[in-house]
Chain A
Amino acid sequence: MSVQLDLILPPIVIGILLLLILSMNRMMMESSSESLLTQNVQQLANTALLVVQEELREVQTMIASTDSTLTYADVNQDTVRMLRLDRDLALIRTNMTTSLADTTLIPAKVTDLRFNLFQLDGTGPFMVTVQITSESLARDGVGTGAPRFRAIASRDFYLRNLDL
C-alpha cells in the first residue's frame, strides 16, 4: 500500500501545483484585463463629455430639452440634436440653408445619456447638467461570461452664448 501511495502522490501533488499556478496566472490576467476595461470605459465617458463641452460652447438658442435629447441652434444657426443612438453619442446637425442633416457618431459605448437644463439659483444664467454612462460588453473582457464594467461622467456646463 505504502509503495502504491509513493507512486501516486507525487503526480497528484504536481498536478495540484500546476493547477494552482495556472489558476493564478488566469486570475492575474483577468484582473489586468478588468483594470484596463474600467480605465477604458472611464476614458470613453470623459472623452464623450469633452465632445459635449465643445459642442455646448456654440449653443445660441435652446429649441427643446428632454431628459435624453438636447436640440438647439448653434452660432451658425444650424440646428443640432444631441442624443444617444445605440451605443454612440450622436450629433445630428441640420444645415440652416440646405436643410441637409449630417450625423456625427462618437463611439463611446454610451448606454445612458441624460440632460438637465436649469438656471443657477433659480433665476440666474442657464446651465445644463450632462451625465454620460459608458459600459463595456461581456465580449470586451477575457474568457466567457466576463463581467461588464460601467463608468459615469457628469458635469455642469454654463451656456455662455445662449440668447435669452
Chain B
Amino acid sequence: MSTGQALLAMAALSLFMYTAVNVNRLYVASVSESVDKQRTSDAINYAQSVAEMLYAQGQFYDDLDINFGHLDNENLSTRRLETLSVIGDSLVATVELDAESAQIHGAVGRTATIRVFSLLNDGTTDEQVSLMVTLLRPVAP
C-alpha cells in the first residue's frame, strides 16, 4: 500500500469514528435531556407540594416562623425539607418567609419563596432546580 493510500484509509477511518462518536453523543444527549425534564418536573411538583403544605398550615398562620422559619439552609439536613423523587433523585427544599405586608386588594399576608435543590451523594446540594413564590394569608380555624 502506498503512502497516499494509507493516508486515505486513515482519513476514512477518522471520518467514520468522528461520525460514530457524534451519533452516540446525540443519543446520550437525548436520554440526558429526557431525564433532566423529568427531574425538573419532579422539582416543580415538589415545590408545589411544599406550597400545599404551607397552605395546610393556614390556620396556624401566626406560627409560620416556628414551623417553617428554620428551613433556610439547603446544606444542613436539620434546616431543610427532603424527599425522594419518583426517579430516585433526592430533592431538598428551603422556605423563605418575608415579613407580613399589605398584598393585593389590601389583604395582609406573607410571601413564601420555596427553593428546590438537587442533593448530591456527599450531602451537599447541586444547583437550584425550581423556584416557587406564593402568598400566605391567615385562615380562620
List residues of A whose CB falls within 8 A of some B CB. 20, 24, 27-28, 31, 34-35, 38-39, 42, 45-46, 49, 120, 124-125, 127, 131, 149, 151-158, 160
Contact = CB atoms under 8 A, between A and B. Distances in A.
B30 A127 contact: no
Contacts, number: 66
B42 A154 contact: yes
B45 interface: yes
B87 A28 contact: no
B34 A38 contact: yes
A27 B26 contact: yes
B111 interface: no
18 contacts: A20-B16, A27-B27, A28-B26, A31-B26, A34-B30, A34-B34, A35-B34, A120-B53, A120-B57, A151-B38, A152-B86, A154-B42, A155-B45, A155-B49, A156-B53, A158-B55, A160-B55, A160-B58
Which 5 pairs across A and B sit closest by C-beta, in order of nearness?
A156-B49, A158-B56, A125-B56, A152-B86, A38-B34
B28 to A, nearest CB: 10
Nearest to A39: B37
A158 B52 contact: yes
